[in-house]
Every structure is written in C-alpha cells, then in structure tokens.
Structure 1
Amino acid sequence: MDNETAGTRLPDIVDIPRNIRRRREQLGMTRAQVCARAVLPPKWLVELEAGDAPLTRAALGGLAAALKTDINALMSGAFDAPEVAAPDIRSLIAMNEAECYARLATHEVGRLAGGMDHTPWVLPVNYAVDGKEIVFTTGPDSPLAHVRGTTAFEVDDVDRYDRLGWSVLVIGVVEPVTDPVGIARLAQAGAGAWPGRRGELWLRIHPGRVTGRRLCSGSTRR
C-alpha cells in the first residue's frame, strides 16, 4: 500500500524544534499565541519544541506563517530581525488665534453646529474669512436661514495616511448681514455659495472664542 505521508514528513533534523523555539522567543510570543495563529494544538507545540512530536511540512508552513518567517528559515535558523514598530513621535500642539485664522483661510467648507438645547444638528457650509468673522450664505428655504445666536463652527484637515492634521473651532454668535454695501463687497470677493442662489441670505459669525490644535510629526514641530 502506498505511504500517504510520503513527501510530507520532514527529515528528522534536531535543529528545527530549536529554531522554532528561538524564533518564537525572538518575537516575544507565547506558545498559545503561535498555536492560535497557526491553528495547532498548544500541547503539540510543547512536545515539538522538546523534540518529542512529529512534524509535517504542512504544520511547519503554518508555524512559519505564524512566526512571520518561512520554512527555509525555520530549517536553517537564519532569521531576519523581527520588525520593530516605529515609536510614535507625533505631537498635539495648541494653535494660537493667528495660526487658527491662517488655517481657516486655506479652506472653503466647514461645519456649523447648533441646537444643543433641543435637537442637535450639524450642517456643512462653504464660507469665507472676513477679518475676524466667518461669513457664509444660505437659501431662504434652508434650515440655516433662521439660525441665530450661539453656534459652533469647525474646520479640519486630515492626512489619514500619515495620521496628521489640524482642527479649528470657532464659538460665536450668528447674525444676518443686511448692509447692501457689505453684501456687495463679500459677493465681489467670491464668498458666495456653491453654486450661487437666487435671493441668497448672508450670515456672519462674530467669534467669541477661537481655538485649534494640530497633530504633527516630531520632525516638523514648529
């Protein structure tokens, strides 16, 4: 009868169990962790590292994957150095008001929030910075048309690949802009809606508090 394990059993090499144990310890992994990754019984790994358990190429392949290496390395003992996670040297830095306004000037869309006493809401608005004020427009039938009083306005920018970014929060009072000269000046400066609306209403936020933070890498802290 043919031997069903022919070609699957590894040579009886004493160094393989020793190499498996050395690699596991190099990675700082327990036997339970290795076996969970390789889907193997922990008791078997205990016996294998003691040189008392049989080892097939399929099982060795599972161990190699669990130990972040390959079969040849487990057989020879020539391991690459384990990957070491780079230290997180990012810094969260508070921005002063001048930097907050400089950041606000680089964007055109933010989020306006209000209604905290009743039903909370957050709506996107395109905006412009006019001196110290935030100005935006809305249609007469928009939920924003009747917004008055204290609101929060937020703008942020995130680099999700490098996990860096910044955020600016403006707490202030929303009031309508009714001066025709002021409206004409703002419209000429291109501060209107995307796209322009018929009969659009102009509003401004008088800031009471402007705060911001930025998350930056250690090499660009300034």
Structure 2
Amino acid sequence: MDNETAGTRLPDMVDIPRNIRRRREQLGMTRAQVCARAGLPPKWLVDLEIGDAPLTRATLGILAAALKTNVGALMSGAFDAPEAGVPDTRSLIAMSEKECYARLATHEVGRLAGNLHHTPWVLPVNYVLDGNEIVFTTDPDSPLAHVRGTTAFEVDDVDRYARLGWSVLVVGVVEPVTDPVEIARLTEAGAGTWPARREELWLRIHPGRVTGRRLRPGPARR
C-alpha cells in the first residue's frame, strides 16, 4: 500500500505536532488562544506539540479550523494556502486490489445487498477475510440466509470531521459453506457472528471484482 492512506491513519506523529506549532506561531497565536477557539484544554496542546499527546482525525479537523487552515495543510506543512472559509480540494483516488484487501482486513462489518421476494435490501454483516474470500454467518431465518449467486458487498470508513475516507466494493458469488472440517477451521479462527447463535449458516463470497476509492486531501484553491 502506498503512503497516501487517507481515512485509515494519520501521517507521522512527529511531523503533525511540528506543523501545528509552526502554524500557530505563523499566526502569532498562543496555545491558550488556539485552545479557546477549539474548545480544547491548553495542557493537551502543550503535550501535543512535544509529541506526548494522542491526536485523532476528528481533533485534527477541529484544530485546523482553529488555526485558520485545513487538514491537508496540517498534514503536509504547506501553509501557503488560503485561510479559513475556503475549503481545500479533494480528489478521489482509485485503489489497487491489494490496497482494497488491506483495508478490508482492518474492518469487521460491511453491508451485503440482496433481493428477497422482489424486494431489495441492504443489511450489515460482520465478516472475516479468509485469504481473498469473505466469510460470514447468519441466522437461518435471516434474509441473508437466502443469498445465492452474484451479489455486492461494501465496506467503508469515513471521518466527517477531517473529511477523509474510503470505500471498497466487492462483487462476487455467494455460496454456502457445508464442509464440517471447513466450518470447524473457520470457527476456530473466530469467524462466527457477534451475537452468539446455536444454529448458524456459513456463507462465503468468492470475489469476481474488487474495486475501491479513497478521498485524498489536496492543496486549497487559490
């Protein structure tokens, strides 16, 4: 996977605190002034600037607004962009199949689309990757139990504060898993559903097409 992992993790936590401090000093603002704007405790910003405090994507978005800049600038250190009120540009980047699988491996819940009695539905399902295939279990009475043939499975991650995110779409064929040895192996690996059930149906998606896109921050418009 390349280093443009917008929506999955923050860049180097050495660079970001340095960029935050540089931007604050560029504006001639004290830590207290920044924290008053952001609604954050001043002691936390002191610790952050020396690399001793955690930073989430949501908090980074709040800090960007308080520092009259954007998330992309705080991540890159490029502060020659317009200040508050002018949104930074974003671009959708197509992900390779390898990157799609890497992101699928970081999550446990996706959405499966199907059709029952001529009524379309989309339901959440917790899953695991078994090689390049997606495995999940369901209750015999669930609409998921009737899924067969080609279907669509989607997983995404969105941070609305930082305006970062990604999505992966898997189009493949669903088949039941009936081999007791295979079921025992999957059970041992912890592939069962979150709610405990006495009777579970095991299903496997054999991917035919795996595509994904991520939202990459870009420099602000001039």
What TM-score bracket applies, with the shorter chain setting the length?
Answer: 0.5 to 0.7
* CA–CA separation in structure 2 for the residues paired with 1:116 and 1:189: 31
> Is residue 186 from structure 1 mapped to residue 192 from structure 2 by the alignment?
no
Check if 1:123 corresponds to 2:157.
no
Unmatched segments (≥5 aa) in structure 1: 1-81
Letter in 1 for 2:201: L
Distance 1:177 1:144 in 2: 14
**Cα pair 2:116 2:143 within 8 Å, conserved:** no
* TM-score, structure 1 as length reference: 0.59
Q: Is the 8 A contact 1:91 1:217 kept in 2?
A: yes
Q: How does 1:16-31 map to 2 (within 5 A)?
A: none
Deviations 1:78-116 (A, max 9, x none): xxxx97533523221000100000000000000000229
SS in 2 for 1:106: coil
| SS in structure 2 of the partner of residue 183 of structure 1 | helix
Q: Write the letter of the residue equivalent to 1:98.
A: K
TM-score, normalised to structure 2, is: 0.59
CA distance in 1, matches of 2:208, 2:132: 10
Q: If you compute each CA radius of gyration, which structure gives the higher value, 1 or 2?
A: 1
> Which letter does structure 1 place at the counterpart of 2:198?
R
Q: Are 1:127 and 1:134, in contact at CA under 8 Å, matched by a contact in 2?
A: yes
1:9-32 deviation digits (Å, cap 9, x = unpaired): xxxxxxxxxxxxxxxxxxxxxxxx
Other structure's SS at 2:98 match: helix
1:84, 1:100 → 2: CA distance? Answer: 34
CA separation in 2, counterparts of 1:112 and 1:90?
Answer: 28
Q: In the alignment, what sits opposite 1:105?
A: 105
Match of 2:89 in 1: 89
Q: How well do the aligned residues superpose, as a CA RMSD in angstroms?
A: 2.0
Partner letter of residue 163 of structure 1?
A: R
Structure 1 residues 140 and 110, CA gap change in structure 2 (3 angstroms):
same
Number of residue equivalences: 138
Equivalent residue of 1:103, what SS?
helix
Partners of 1:143 and 1:162 in 2: how far apart? 36
* Aligned-residue offset at 1:178: 0.7
Kept after mapping to 2: 8 A contact 1:135/1:191: yes
After the TM superposition, which residues 125-144 of structure 1 pair with which residues of structure 2 at under 5 Å, given as runs?
Answer: 125-144=125-144
Query: Counterpart of 1:165 in 2: which secondary structure?
Result: strand
Bigger relative CO (Cα 8 Å, ≥ 6 apart)? 2
Contact 1:167-1:212 within 8 A present in 2 as well: yes
What are the Cα deviations for residues 135-181 of structure 1, in whole angstroms up to 9, with x where unaligned? 00001111111211111000000000011100000001110001111
Whether contact under 8 Å (2:110, 2:155) holds in the other structure is yes
Question: Could you tell me how far apart the structure 2 residues matched to 1:192 and 1:129 are?
Answer: 12
The 1:209–1:83 alpha-carbon spacing in structure 2 relative to 1, beyond 3 Å, is: closer
Code of the residue aligned with 1:91 in structure 2: it is: S
Shift of 1:185: 1.0
Helix, strand or coil at the partner of 2:199: coil
- Measured in 1, the distance between the counterparts of 2:209 and 2:117 equals 20
Look up the match of 1:146: 146
**Which amino acid in 1 is paired with 2:124?**
P
Q: How far apart are residue 117 of structure 1 and its match?
A: 9.3
Where does residue 203 of structure 1 map in the other structure? 203
Higher strand share: 2
Q: Indicate the percent of aligned positions where both proteins have the same amino acid.
A: 83
